[in-house]
Amino acid sequence: MHASSPRPASFSAPGPLRGSIAVPGDKSISHRALMLSALAIGESRVEGLLTGEDVLATAAAMRAMGAHIVRESAATGGGGRAMGASIERGDDDVWRIHGVGVGGLLQPEGALEMGNSGTSTRLLMGLVASHAITATFTGDASLSKRPMNRVIEPLSLMGADVTATPGGKGGTLPLMLRGISPAVPIDYRLPVASAQVKSAVLLAGLNTPGITRVIEPVATRDHSERMLRGFGAELEVEQAADGARIISIRGEAELRPQHIVVPGDPSSAAFPAVAALLVPGSAVTIANVGLNPTRAALFDVLRMMGGDIEFANPREVGGEPVADIVVRHSTLKGIETPVETVASMVDEYPILFVAAALAEGRTVARGLEELRVKESDRIAVMAEGLRAIGARVEELEDGLIIDGTGGDPLPGGATIAARLDHRIAMSFAVAGLVSKAAVTIDDMGPVATSFPGFTRLMGELGAVAA
């Protein structure tokens, strides 16, 4: 997990941002690729896997439960590929995974250390729930505040027994989950729009006899569904009369090993993309970005605000739509952000708020109550930080109202507490590029959870970190 001594930094842009970069692999897809490979029988190969700390926590947990996972460095084994920065990033590495088979997870010896990763925790709780094993989940200070009741509830209905920390609000880590086999199949209607809860139930359903169903009133990222099918699980998606998605999985599936190529993470691409929109004279290409419609709404919203964003060379990689994103500096206009697509850009609001702070006129963003239970309370933390650097912001229970500068730089001149939240740290790194006085982020360490190489890649485009 990231170093405990804080790594402060401030970012500035002496001139336009220019050039072409590729961001690391998609975090959501990387977690799922490891988990499903670890349950297939035979060897899966994964390329482009994110080597961020969150994903490494998933890899360690799957190893602790019996999977054989080897990271073959391109520098040492993978066919003599060229040396260079990409090797240091680990993007060229090939991961070879021998799974244990559905139902074959072993009792882990120690606690599963989840670090900062909500996705690892919730999805793995689903996997453990339908195996006759017991696992203890621990996490860092941020993760230990996040509510797990949203997964404890359906997994308990399936027969799992969970003891969370007494007194923790919403069922918090550390917690102990005693799984059961055979578990009971359920039909579960999601009370919150959450891909993590959906995935936890579907993954529990993998080793449960019969059909497990999740009813999703609001569509959330569908990587689990796509990948489960890709591995050979019997999974159906239907539309209910009220528009909800009904996802059914037949349990006791046999998964076939796969070769997966993970596309670049749109949630990481969001930071250089907004930076290019805001810094005058910029023109930046971000290559190989995943544009699954359940993930890519930020780019639509930025276009609605007047952002010059093109998708070049559209193609399919590993069953996911991918393109190169070309972004040029633009004069943005404030808007009312659409509530229908909140789930399809749920992680992108912090950086959208930065864009809104530089736009002309008012941006009203609502329907964002889920942001309060992410790695930090992203509504409160963004409101406080933006105000500290001179933006005009009003905090609502479920969102923010932001009156932008019309393109003028923000005053800046403050230190921002990132609160163990990678996306807060990166959002204020971008805000620093368009502020008069320095914006210091108290700790860039958490960025390694999702976007290793962030500072270096921003540097390749012309940003300066001090």
Residues lying near ligand S3P in the complex (CB under 6 A): 28, 119, 194-196, 199, 220-221, 346-347, 370
In the numeric block, the tokens 């500096």 are attached to 329
Rounded (10°) angle between helices 349-358 and 297-304: 10
Residue type, 346: V
In the numeric block, the tokens 């969102």 are attached to 399
Q: What is the distance between the alpha carbons of residues 230 and 107, in angstroms, rounded to a whole number?
A: 27
In the numeric block, the tokens 């790695």 are attached to 375
The CA–CA distances, whole Å, from 372 to 135, 149, 367, 368 equal 27, 15, 11, 8
Residue (195 or 417) nearer to ligand S3P, CB: 195
Length of the chain: 466
Residue (194 or 282) nearer to ligand S3P, CB: 194
Residue (143 or 461) nearer to ligand S3P, CB: 143
Q: Tell me how far, at minimum, the Cβ of 465 lies from ligand S3P, in Å.
A: 24
Q: Tell me how far, at minimum, the Cβ of 29 lies from ligand S3P, in Å.
A: 8
Is residue 196 helix, strand or coil? helix
Q: Tell me how far, at minimum, the Cβ of 345 lies from ligand S3P, in Å.
A: 10
Strand 283-290 and strand 18-22: pairing? parallel
Q: Tell me how far, at minimum, the Cβ of 196 lies from ligand S3P, in Å.
A: 4
Residue showing the smallest CB distance to ligand S3P in the complex: 28
Q: Tell me how far, at minimum, the Cβ of 340 lies from ligand S3P, in Å.
A: 15
Q: Which helix (H) or strand (E) holds 273?
A: helix 266-278
Q: Tell me how far, at minimum, the Cβ of 200 lies from ligand S3P, in Å.
A: 9
Catalytic one of 54, 347, 421, 443: 347
Is residue 343 helix, strand or coil? helix
Residue (30 or 363) nearer to ligand S3P, CB: 30
Residue (292 or 330) nearer to ligand S3P, CB: 292
Q: What is the distance between the alpha carbons of residues 335 and 325, in angstroms, rounded to a whole number?
A: 22
265: annotated active-site residue: no
Q: Tell me how far, at minimum, the Cβ of 43 lies from ligand S3P, in Å.
A: 24
Residue (144 or 440) nearer to ligand S3P, CB: 144
Q: What is the distance between the alpha carbons of residues 357 and 28, in angstroms, rounded to a whole number?
A: 28
Residues 6 or more apart whose Cβ sits within 8 Å of residue 117: 31, 53, 54, 55, 57, 58, 139, 143, 449
Residue (221 or 329) nearer to ligand S3P, CB: 221
Q: What is the distance between the alpha carbons of residues 39 and 35, in angstroms, rounded to a whole number?
A: 7
Alpha-helix residue ranges (DSSP H) falling in 15-107 = 27-37, 53-64, 85-89
Residues 6 or more apart whose Cβ sits within 8 Å of residue 206: 39, 102, 127, 130, 228, 233, 249, 251, 253, 255
Q: Tell me how far, at minimum, the Cβ of 314 lies from ligand S3P, in Å.
A: 23
- Strand order, beta sheet including 175-178: 112-113, 134-138, 175-178, 161-163
Residue (153 or 370) nearer to ligand S3P, CB: 370
The CA–CA distances, whole Å, from 42 to 50, 71, 100, 102 equal 22, 16, 8, 12
Active-site residue set? 347
